[in-house]
Copies of this chain bind each other. A is one copy, B any other.
Amino acid sequence: MASMSTTAFPKTTTTPPFLSHPLAKPDSLIAATVSFPRSRTLPRRRATTTLRVRSALIQPDGGKLVELVVPEPRRREKKHEAADLPRVKLTEVDLQWTHVLSEGWASPLRGFMRESEFLQTLHFNSLRLDDGSVVNMSVPIVLAIDDEQKALVGGSKSVALVDADDNPIAILSDIEIYKHPKEERIARTWGTTAPGLPYAEEAITNAGNWLIGGDLEVLEPVKYNDGLDRFRLSPFELRKELEKRGADAVFAFQLRNPVHNGHALLMTDTRRRLLEMGYKNPILLLHPLGGFTKADDVPLSWRMKQHEKVLEDGVLDPETTVVSIFPSPMLYAGPTEVQWHAKARINAGANFYIVGRDPAGMGHPVEKRDLYDADHGKKVLSMAPGLERLNILPFRVAAYDKTQGKMAFFDPSRAQDFLFISGTRMRGLAKNKESPPDGFMCPGGWKVLVDYYDSLSLTGNTRLPEKVPV
């Protein structure tokens, strides 16, 4: 499993091998660090158009951040409009994608994909824009409907997207309905059609035979009311926060697992290296994924609790770290998905992306092996069209160094000194309320994990509901 392996920079002290673009220093900014944002006091998107975004952060794909939430003054009118339209019901994953689209993580995409975008994504992992430029887009962001829904839509040019309780969420207009080639979509996205792919089982196999694309207008900012909405900063809000902190380099760390000291080592080491390169104020975007995850991953609420402890315990510096939730569902599509993870962070202002062993990977659902070659993710990322502007930071594996009693970059010349603690092993320890070796994870963070597995065993080893106070 990729998830728990920790990681290090390649040994070379010259240009990292996968740095896809020469390191360019932005104009220097006055450094002004503020602490980890505790609450969402920032004014919302549309209300803040007077705030001038400084040009030092990397430009969003397509040059302008897409925002698809209807401005406050027009919401009433739009809701009336939605009430008269044919309805398409959104699943939980559909709603997550609606959220993703609405905040411009997929900029310049302005709605669920039409066929031309879907085909470009499947075949080229990128979209060609009208001006001839290319942006990365490796995972299909599509909305499936079944035959019955298609019949209901009839000749309408717009539809209302509604949640499970029929509340209107969005309008999709200038729609295009086209066939949903499920097998082909799965094969080209995952490189396998083996049964048991978590996302495919959740959102594709039993989905409708049609896809509906169009321009999206979301009626209200998407909220989950799970106590975590304050961590769900949009790309616009993140950019504002990063500006406020005076970031002159932003390095993003995608994760869907508890943070241990190997991760922390990597993140602090990255910051050190960026300082060495001459940046004055590199900021870490610690960006746990918040959408759909597979059943044996630790749920978001517990992970956030754990991340909070890690910051409290001083493992990471709150002054130079922004923790925020990335609202995308998880596909476990390895080299295809890692491009999406990186591309979305460009839109949030990151110009450095950390990539480790087997990103977004998992075990093969049928065969006894990893689904992807552990090195393909970083290789594909370094070659991906539309990601040339992003500096890719690959790293080697880290492990528990028994001689130092802490996580350290693995040194193959003294392999016997290192202990690899896999995700399976970590889960086993936490389930049995055993302690990991000292220095593997801060005690506060470990306690959260033990509590999680403890609560799980009470409910018969299935995943708990997401709502846990952070």
Residues of A within 8 A of B (CB): 115-116, 119-120, 122-126, 128, 134, 138, 179, 181, 183-184, 187-188, 190-194, 335-336, 372-373, 376, 379-380, 383-385
Contact = CB atoms under 8 A, between A and B. Distances in A.
10 contacts: A119-B335, A119-B383, A123-B138, A123-B335, A123-B336, A124-B124, A128-B385, A181-B373, A187-B190, A188-B188
A126 B191 contact: no
A89 B13 CA distance: 42
A244 to B, nearest CB: 35
Identical chains bound together, number: 2
Nearest to A339: B123
A372 B187 CA distance: 13
A385 to B, nearest CB: 6
Contacts of A187: 187-188, 190-193
Between A138, A191, A336, A376, the greatest number of chain B beta carbons within 10 A of the residue's beta carbon is seen for A191
A124 B385 contact: yes
A187 B120 CA distance: 17
A259 to B, nearest CB: 30
Contact of A380 (B123, B134, B193, B372): B123
Given A179-B373, A181-B373, A187-B187, A383 B120 contact: yes
A7 to B, nearest CB: 21
Contacts of A188: 187-188, 191
Nearest to A334: B184
A415 to B, nearest CB: 23
A115 B184 contact: no
Contact of A181 (B119, B134, B191, B385): B191
Nearest to A379: B119
Contacts of A385: 124, 126, 128, 134, 385
